[in-house]
Structure 1
Amino acid sequence: MTSKNTLIIGTRGSALALAQADMVRAVLALRYPELEVRREIIHTTGDRRTDVPLADVARVSGVVDKGIFIKELESALQEGRIDVAVHSLKDVPSELAPGFTLAAVLPRASVEDVLITKEPDWNGTGTLATGSVRRRLMARTYWGSGLRFEDLRGNVPTRLAKLVEHPGWDAVILAKAGLERLGLYAAETVVEGRKLYMRPLPVEAFIPAVGQGIVGMECRSSDKETADILEGINDPPARACALAERTFLVLLGASCSTPVGVHACLEGNELVLRASYYAPGREEPFSTVVRGDGKDPAALGRLAFERLGAG
């Protein structure tokens, strides 16, 4: 039980962000039926600046790291307008600003990237649209140098529509978790009258972004009551994986434009972490796979960093 009667959760305004906020609200309602949960939509720098590539938004906006998607939410937390900020964890900087804490995460959804094409047998030649530097480099490694790239921004439905609208585009890559949460994932689908084909990409080749598939909940470090409430809905396995991945990212000193993939998963009591990093000027990534005690995820993140030779 909690003495708090109302909890205000802040979220971005995209369809996916709203769906994730509603997931949090539903879990809170089950765990704390007496608690009133309200939702407040907050527009972030990353939502507004769709005029430049994703990797350049922080630089042109003067926002540190991936704070482009959370800065305004943290401001609302600091001002007390909201109690909880709900994020796609892959949008959250590897180190939070002082005064904030990642209080809980929901169970992890699918981690795969999904290839979406106009033709069912697309073989990796032509034009692939993506705003992710990580996906571009992994695609080049996977399919070879015959690929051309176009920048792609916008929410999930917008990205699908852009694939249909651009006659010179052959494919896009999106996260499976987002497609599933919006009810859009299918082997075959129709968008604006055009049939599209979806297939998951192998995690070994397209290592996900840190935190991909995880919904995270941030609150003020000083707000112990809210932190305790969120602890009641926290998923320990997902949190352990997130901690291992984020520890690696901190040690690497990565920013939003760093082409790095990190994926941790539990196999029994053992935690397995796979990491791949493209250093400047290199066409092939540094890669490693490490295993360790699931009770010490931060140690596994440090081990992966040491094994990768990035230090």
Structure 2
Amino acid sequence: MRRVVVGTRRSELAVTQTQWVMDRLADHLPAGWDMRQEKIVTKGDQILHVTLSKVGGKGLFVKEIEQALLDGRIDLAVHSMKDMPGDMPDGLCFGAVTSREDPRDCLLSRNGETLDELPENALVGTSSLRRQAQLLAYRPDLRVEPVRGNLNTRYRKLMEGQFDAIVLAAAGISRMGWEEKVTQYLPEEVMLPAVGQGALAVQCREEDEEMREVLQKAHDPATDRTVRAERTFLHAFEGGCHLPIAGYAVQKGEEVLLRGLVAHPSGSRVLKGEQRHKDPEEAGRLLAAELLDKGARELLAEVKEGLDG
């Protein structure tokens, strides 16, 4: 008999995603095993009055859950891959990377306008510097302000008239069954996704070989390859998942094609590039080197100085 405790954030989306993984694993558990969820409150869930980037975005939604894994209070954890920092604590690993949902971002507007149709000076809500930078690069006339809280809270704020539109990840919308609320799916050319967006990371202890074997049943090797390229790219910039950095990879024959972006939150400067390689990590390293050559390190240093100030 083994009671498997699965750690998750307590938001409706997190619980839904975790249950999805548990359902995938249910038929593959050894005899006598059962699973239950343990909801864990993270720092990112507690601090709702300021933007993530102001409170040290790296690991805000995962640190407490990772500690519970290390302490043995839980046996595995389900995270949105886009929330995962570039670094992982010693002793932990990804037991599975799930098949990717729609990686795009989408626009939900109160009056049904697309991004092009929003009136001048419209107020768009997002707490992501990545989204803010790309919105303002495309529509400098827009006003972009933070909107925090879970999906239900953000949608309520939109419909109450606090914002003209909000930007959310399409994957979360799909998992919540909210597709009818979407006004527009934003194309990659306008809004390059966050690293790992649309995929789930199932984390466990490295030493727990029994659990790692079970988790392989939920693992998608194709998604894992593309996400590894993206995360290698992110890691070159100290893994700050709440900085204005985007990366999205697709499999092209035997190669991985990776597109990446580093931007100023004002949208005034956007550095873009792409690389392809048979080795996903090499694609990530090559693209990071390309953008560093274009001035990405100096740009991000300026961004961090502004946030710290």
| TM-superposition CA deviations, 1:52-98 (whole Å, max 9, x none) | 1121233xxxxxx5221111111211121110011001111111122
Identity of matched residues, %:
37
| TM-superposition CA deviations, 1:204-229 (whole Å, max 9, x none) | 22111111001101112222222222
Cα distance change, pair 280–156 in 1 and its aligned pair in 2 (3 A)? closer
The residue aligned with 1:192 is: none
The residue aligned with 1:147 is: 142
Q: How does 1:106-121 map to 2 (within 5 A)?
A: 106-121=98-113
Aligned partner of 2:171 among 172, 177, 188: 177
**Displacement of 1:33 after TM fit?**
6.6
Compute the RMSD of aligned alpha carbons. 1.8
Q: TM-score, normalised on structure 1?
A: 0.88
Partner secondary structure for residue 275 of structure 2: strand
**Displacement of 1:233 after TM fit?**
2.1
Report the Cα distance in structure 2 between the residues aligned to 1:129 and 1:78, rounded to whole angstroms: 36
Q: How does 1:211-226 map to 2 (within 5 A)?
A: 211-226=196-211
Aligned partner of 2:186 among 188, 194, 201: 201
| TM-superposition CA deviations, 1:214-269 (whole Å, max 9, x none) | 11011122222222221232110111111100000111224143101100111232
Letter of the aligned partner of 1:200 in structure 2?
A: Y
Aligned partner of 2:82 among 85, 90, 113: 90
Ranges of 4+ aligned residues in structure 1 off by more than 3 Å? 279-282
The residue aligned with 1:21 is: 18
Q: How does 1:274-293 map to 2 (within 5 A)?
A: 274-278=259-263, 283-293=268-278
The residue aligned with 2:286 is: 303
Report the Cα distance in structure 2 between the residues aligned to 1:147 and 1:20, rounded to whole angstroms: 33
Cα distance change, pair 280–10 in 1 and its aligned pair in 2 (3 A)? closer
The residue aligned with 1:129 is: 125
Q: TM-score, normalised on structure 2?
A: 0.88
Instruction: Count residues with an aligned counterpart.
Output: 289
Letter of the aligned partner of 1:244 in structure 2?
A: A
The residue aligned with 1:54 is: 52
Letter of the aligned partner of 2:83 in structure 1?
A: D
| TM-superposition CA deviations, 1:158-207 (whole Å, max 9, x none) | 1111011135x211000000001000112xx4xxxxxxx52100012211
The residue aligned with 2:224 is: 239
**Kept after mapping to 1: 8 A contact 2:277/2:283:** yes
**Kept after mapping to 1: 8 A contact 2:136/2:266:** no
**Kept after mapping to 1: 8 A contact 2:134/2:190:** yes
The residue aligned with 2:307 is: none
**Kept after mapping to 2: 8 A contact 1:55/1:256:** no
Partner secondary structure for residue 67 of structure 1: coil
Report the Cα distance in structure 1 between the residues aligned to 2:247 and 2:19, rounded to whole angstroms: 27
Letter of the aligned partner of 1:111 in structure 2?
A: P
**Kept after mapping to 2: 8 A contact 1:31/1:233:** no
Partner secondary structure for residue 252 of structure 1: coil
Letter of the aligned partner of 2:24 in structure 1?
A: V
The residue aligned with 1:227 is: 212
**Displacement of 1:281 after TM fit?**
8.3
The residue aligned with 2:60 is: 68
Aligned partner of 2:8 among 7, 11, 22: 11
Report the Cα distance in structure 2 between the residues aligned to 1:282 and 1:151, rounded to whole angstroms: 16
Cα distance change, pair 118–279 in 1 and its aligned pair in 2 (3 A)? closer
Report the Cα distance in structure 1 between the residues aligned to 2:266 and 2:157, rounded to whole angstroms: 31
Partner secondary structure for residue 19 of structure 1: helix
Report the Cα distance in structure 1 between the residues aligned to 2:289 and 2:144, rounded to whole angstroms: 33
Report the Cα distance in structure 2 between the residues aligned to 1:112 and 1:282, rounded to whole angstroms: 19
Report the Cα distance in structure 2 between the residues aligned to 1:219 and 1:33, rounded to whole angstroms: 17
Letter of the aligned partner of 2:40 in structure 1?
A: I
